[in-house]
Structure 1
Amino acid sequence: MRKPRHNVKIENFLPHRTPMLMECKVPYLDGESVETQFKIKEASIFTDKNGYFSEAGLIENAAQACSAITGQDFFDDDDHEGKGNKVVGYISAIKKAEISLLPKIGDTLVTKASLVSRYDTGEMSICTIEASSFRNDDLVVNCTMNFLIHEV
């Protein structure tokens, strides 16, 4: 089992770049779970003219948090800067997505995700991960997704 990591710079380990990258704080990450914090900014491509963060943005935020659980295994333990980043990930299925409310610019989402199942082939991982995002104590989204993560 992978040792817990704290305060990970997730942007170093995701293939996303601006404007898709959601710069999250990652206070906790281990081999089976992750917690992220994401403050919704006005510049986000997922906000509308009324300042609401979209459904697609909520799913993407959860997906980026989830991918850290499995994606970290494609990097050496001492690669804290993501220099070995040759990983691509895809949402292969959204099995469940329940959205309770749309947060607004300035809100912070706390996403907690945990690994449900995983199958590794050596160069590729297929996994199912459950995630829930909260604004304060309010549940914002609860989802279960399948991912395919592989080296390029």
Structure 2
Amino acid sequence: METKENNLINIHQFLPHRNPMLMADYILELTKEKVVTSFTILEDNIFVHNNEFVEAGLIENLAQTCSSILGQSFFENPEADTKVIGFITNIKKIEVFSLPKVGDTIISKASLISMYENICNIYCETFNKDELLIRAEINLFIQEVKS
């Protein structure tokens, strides 16, 4: 998937994560049912070990990608100072096929299976070029943190 500068969505509008835990650089596509993100693996990433982005990093990348679907309802007003917290409540199925290396840009795709209030079930996959790295079915819960 080609990254087009004019179509990028600021990931900070849809996720509460910040460095060093932010594992998505750009939202390439976002609807109420689907999201596509990109992430370039840098050498100083906390999930890099022996020049590879380890399984925990891939899972966190998928969770953050999936969170964008559910999180967008909390961030509809870009001027709002909304604070949310999200949790993986269940990983129903996960398969890891390969690990990306430092310098690789991975593309993660997630599709909503079902949603009830602030809980959703999402199918997701991550690719390095055409190679499938990981696929999973994840349940997420997001709630607004009241000040």
Q: Please confirm whether the aligned pair reaches a TM-score higher than 0.5, indicating the same fold.
A: yes
How far the C-alpha of 1:65 sits from its partner, in A, is 0.5
Question: What amino acid is the match of 2:41?
Answer: I
- Residues 51 and 104 of structure 1 are in contact (CA less than 8 Å); yes or no, is this contact kept in structure 2? yes
Which SS does the other structure have where 1:41 is aligned? Answer: coil
- Residues 13 and 75 of structure 2 are in contact (CA less than 8 Å); yes or no, is this contact kept in structure 1? no
Match of 1:135 in 2: 128
Match of 1:88 in 2: 85
Distance 1:118 1:42 in 2: 36
Higher mean alpha-carbon deviation, 17-26 vs 91-100, is at 17-26
Match of 1:65 in 2: 65
Distance 1:92 1:23 in 2: 20
Match of 2:31 in 1: 30
Distance 1:105 1:149 in 2: 30
Q: Deviations over 1:31-83 (max 9, x none)?
A: 000000111001100000x201000000000100000001101123xx346x4
Q: Which of residues 107, 128, 144 is equivalent to 2:137? A: 144
Match of 1:100 in 2: 97
Question: What amino acid is the match of 2:132?
Answer: L
CA RMSD of aligned residues (A): 1.3
Which SS does the other structure have where 1:74 is aligned? Answer: coil
- Residues 11 and 23 of structure 1 are in contact (CA less than 8 Å); yes or no, is this contact kept in structure 2? no
Distance 1:27 1:102 in 2: 22
Question: What amino acid is the match of 1:92?
Answer: T
TM-score normalized with structure 1 length? 0.87
Distance 2:15 2:123 in 1: 19
The number of residue pairs the alignment matches comes to: 139
Runs in 1 of length 4+ with deviation above 3 angstroms? Answer: none
